[in-house]
Amino acid sequence: MKRMILALVCAAMMMPMNAKTLVAYFSATGTTKTAATKLAKQHDAVLWEIEPADKYTAEDLDWRNPESRSSVEMNDPEERPTIKRCTNITPYDTIYVGFPIWWGICPRIINSWLDNNEPQLQGKVLIPFATSGSSGIEEAETYLKKTYPTLNWHKGLLMNKH
Ligand SMILES: Cc1cc2nc3c(=O)[nH]c(=O)nc-3n(C[C@H](O)[C@H](O)[C@H](O)COP(=O)(O)O)c2cc1C
């Protein structure tokens, strides 16, 4: 009996007792926010909105206009929109990273967030999730893995029917 208790205590000590989950997301018009809120509830996770310093207006989001802010940003792979507040990701082992699909992939503000946090993100479990008009998440997953090859990406979730 003593041995069994000892084994259980040891097993418990090896497990991350305070494994924590973060749901970090960007949402321009609220759809991804709804999905993120649901995901956070499901996983008992902390919810964090990645907010741009300058909010996107309806004009900014006009993908039919090649000169709109979103079109200009998505046309330039190096574009990194400024984020309003930085995130303390240190306490989290698993991080869901959510965004709307823009032009098949993630908006550049997700790159800003990943670039800002890249050293601290090493070794953590990263799960992308997205909402879209109709596109899948696969292209975004491929892009993220290619752009951040040292990060521990897991299978993504498309949350259009949340
Ligand atoms: C600039 C821009 C580009 C978009 N590109 C795509 C796309 O390539 N494929 C797609 O299915 N939906 C696309 N959408 C639609 C959004 O992904 C979809 O409406 C999403 O759910 C919006 O999420 P949000 O409300 O959290 O911003 C695009 C929307 C915008 C504003």
Report how far ligand 1's centroid is from the alpha carbon of 86 (Å). Answer: 24
Q: How far apart are CA 130 and CA 98, in angstroms?
A: 5
Phi and psi, residue 113, nearest 5°:
-65, -45
Residues 19, 46 contacting (CB under 8 angstroms):
no
Give the mean model confidence (pLDDT) for residues 18-32.
93
Span 121-147, pLDDT tens digits: 999 999 999 999 999 999 999 999 999
pTM listed for this prediction: 0.91
* The pLDDT value given to residue 161: 81
- Determine, yes or no, domain membership for 2: no
DSSP state of 52: B
131 ligand 1 Cβ < 6 A: yes
Which atom in ligand 1 lies closest to the alpha carbon of residue 104?
8
Give the mutation target among 63, 64, 74 for probing the ligand 1 site: most ligand atoms within 8 A of CB.
63
Q: What is the DSSP string of 81-132?
A: PPBSS----TT-SEEEEEEE-BTTB--HHHHHHHHHHHHHHTTSEEEEEEE-
- Determine, yes or no, domain membership for 41: yes
Residue 108 buriedness (CB in 10 A; 0-12 / 13-18 / 19+): buried
* The pLDDT value given to residue 109: 98
- Determine, yes or no, domain membership for 88: yes
* The pLDDT value given to residue 84: 97
Q: List Cα–Cα distances, 23 to 6, 62, 67, 119, in angstroms.
A: 35, 27, 32, 18
- Determine, yes or no, domain membership for 3: no
Residues 93, 123 contacting (CB under 8 angstroms):
no
Give the mutation target among 34, 57, 97, 102 for probing the ligand 1 site: most ligand atoms within 8 A of CB.
102
Which residue has the CA at smallest separation from atom 5 of ligand 1?
102
For 70, the enclosing helix (H) or strand (E) is helix 69-75
Residue 78's CATH number: 3.40.50.360
Average pLDDT along the chain: 91
104 ligand 1 Cβ < 6 A: yes
CA 54 to chain centre: 19
Residue 1 pLDDT exceeds 70: no
Give the mean model confidence (pLDDT) for residues 49-73.
98
- Determine, yes or no, domain membership for 6: no
30 ligand 1 Cβ < 6 A: yes
- Determine, yes or no, domain membership for 4: no
Domain count, the chain: 1
* The pLDDT value given to residue 12: 47
- Determine, yes or no, domain membership for 1: no
Q: How far apart are CA 21 and CA 103, in angstroms?
A: 28
- Determine, yes or no, domain membership for 40: yes
Q: How confident is the model at residue 13 (pLDDT cuts 50, 70, 90)?
A: very low
Domain that holds residue 77: 18-158
Give the mutation target among 59, 109, 132 for probing the ligand 1 site: most ligand atoms within 8 A of CB.
132
Which atom in ligand 1 lies closest to the alpha carbon of residue 134?
11
* The pLDDT value given to residue 18: 56
